[in-house]
Amino acid sequence: MLSILANRALERDGLGPIRDKVLAGERLTDADGLRLFEAADLPALGALANHVREARHGALAFYNRNVHLNPTNVCVASCKFCSFARKDDQRASDGYTMSIDEAVGKVLSRKPLGVTEVHIVSGLHPDLPFEYYTELLSRIRAGWPEVAIKAFTAIEIHFFAEKFGMSYEQVLRRLMDAGLQTMPGGGAEIFAPRVRRKICDDKATADQWIEIHRTAHRLGVKTNSTMLYGHIERLDERVDHMRRLRELQDETHGFQVFIPLAFHPEHNMIGKAFPKPTGYDALRTLAVARLYLDNFDHVKAYWVSLGERLAQTALSFGVDDLDGTVLEERIYHMAGSTVPQALSERTLHQLIRAAGRVPAERDSLYRVLKVHDAPLPEEPPARLQVTA
């Protein structure tokens, strides 16, 4: 139930009809989505989103134990928001490309951490053969059969298809044979052509991004979806972006989660013109997403992109997932993020519990592995290091 205060605030803002639709389980229009973005009262909007979130997931808040691998940051694309990519891997440019041995060794060294998912995203490297990617996956698969491999954005799939003369389906089948199980949602940015022309005009288009996810879903690969916000896009373009995702979801039901990504302004070509989105904007975007994307099970506050505290607060604004332990993040740290490189499972539990939720560890397919009704047992005190 919504509180009397939230109801009053929604009515004062003229959002009574939208509230009634949400409570009746009716779909919101694009105009409704835009009204919610423009609404004045964030707590009331949050209460409405929270209502939907609790109806779907009760008190549970999901997370997973995952590691990230970015095998190279060498990239032929020129996305203006990106601080991670380098044009070559010469020392002077701090570009890097891991050998397959190095990349596989890095992943396998994480085995003792109890991780359940490896998240792999790369730059669009001009020289690596396709076998680099298939061998990377198959060697991780052979060395660690239980770990789920979530790999390669639609942008990379499009690049492989063009470079190696294959269809999207052929690329995906080869990668699936090598071990790919799910796909991350990166590269979506903002679908509107006006925005793409200005910030990322030399990579896969919105239609291609959608087509790749459609193909993946048809092949049985679940995927994630993202939206990079807080730069040159208008609010109606955020709604348009979510509409296209909602339409594909109606068709395929292959998306697992929607993840709004807050723009990070440091060390990239457009950062000086656009400061980081405010906390209000971040919470509003998550809440609108929860209300508008009525056919998505999950809305994620990626703590690396929001900071731990805002991600925690978002658990009352429509969010049910915080992503994971994320060992060794690079893309956001190179764009000015000052959050830790990783969070322990214990810290994730503390954040979730302090928000009045119950931590639920999930796997890559959002199956619940364990609901943590009780706190984790105390760790034995670290042994004192005595030096002479």
Provide the binding-site residues for ligand V47, judged by CB under 6 A. 81-83, 121, 153, 184-187, 189, 224, 226, 228, 259, 261, 263-264, 268, 302, 323, 331, 335
Q: By C-beta, is 22 or 155 nearer to ligand V47? A: 155
Question: Can you list the positions of beta strands (E) in 45-194?
Answer: 60-64, 66-69, 117-120, 148-151, 182-183
Residue 79, annotated as binding a ligand: yes
Residue 200, annotated as binding a ligand: no
CB of 15 to ligand V47, least distance (A): 29
CB of 318 to ligand V47, least distance (A): 17
Spatial strand order in the sheet of 368-371: 321-324, 60-64, 358-362, 368-371
| Residue 332: CA count within 13 A, CB half-sphere | 23
Q: Which of 352, 267, 347, 342 is nearest to 314 (CA)?
A: 352
The whole-angstrom separation of Cα 95 and Cα 334 is 12
What's the CA angle centered on 126, arms 123 and 132, to 5 degrees? 75
Q: Which residues does residue 262 pair with via DSSP β-bridges, in sequence order?
A: 229
Residue 189, annotated as binding a ligand: yes
Q: By C-beta, is 13 or 215 nearer to ligand V47? A: 215
CB of 84 to ligand V47, least distance (A): 6
The whole-angstrom separation of Cα 305 and Cα 65 is 17
Q: By C-beta, is 68 or 349 nearer to ligand V47? A: 68
CB of 264 to ligand V47, least distance (A): 4
| Residue 132 phi, psi (nearest 5) | -55, -45
Q: By C-beta, is 142 or 219 nearer to ligand V47? A: 219
Other CB atoms within a 10 A radius of the CB of residue 182 amount to: 21
Residue 82, annotated as binding a ligand: yes
CB of 188 to ligand V47, least distance (A): 7
**Cα-based torsion angle of the residue sequence 158, 159, 160, 166 in order, rounded to the nearest 10 degrees:** 60
Core vs surface per residue 301-333: b (16+ CB within 10 A) or e:
bbbbbbbbebbbbbbbbbbbbbbbbbbebbbbb
The whole-angstrom separation of Cα 176 and Cα 134 is 9
CB of 1 to ligand V47, least distance (A): 32
The whole-angstrom separation of Cα 62 and Cα 366 is 8
Judging by beta carbons within 10 Å of its beta carbon (0-12, 13-18, 19+), is residue 220 exposed, middle or buried?
exposed
CB of 155 to ligand V47, least distance (A): 7
Q: By C-beta, is 226 or 249 nearer to ligand V47? A: 226
The whole-angstrom separation of Cα 341 and Cα 114 is 17
For strands 321-324 and 60-64, give the pairing.
parallel
Q: By C-beta, is 51 or 284 nearer to ligand V47? A: 284
Which residue number has the CB closest to ligand V47? 186
| Contact of 324 with 303, CB cutoff 8 Å | no
- 231: DSSP letter: S
CB of 82 to ligand V47, least distance (A): 5
CB of 263 to ligand V47, least distance (A): 5
Q: In this structure, what token pair is assigned to residue 99? A: 């050998």
Q: By C-beta, is 13 or 117 nearer to ligand V47? A: 117
Q: By C-beta, is 35 or 305 nearer to ligand V47? A: 305
Q: By C-beta, is 35 or 284 nearer to ligand V47? A: 284
| Contact of 75 with 330, CB cutoff 8 Å | no
Q: Which of 240, 245, 244, 238 is nearest to 263 (CA)?
A: 238
Residue numbering of the annotated binding site for S-adenosyl-L-methionine: 81, 189
Residue numbering of the annotated binding site for [4Fe-4S] cluster: 75, 79, 82
Residue numbering of the annotated binding site: 75, 79, 81-82, 189
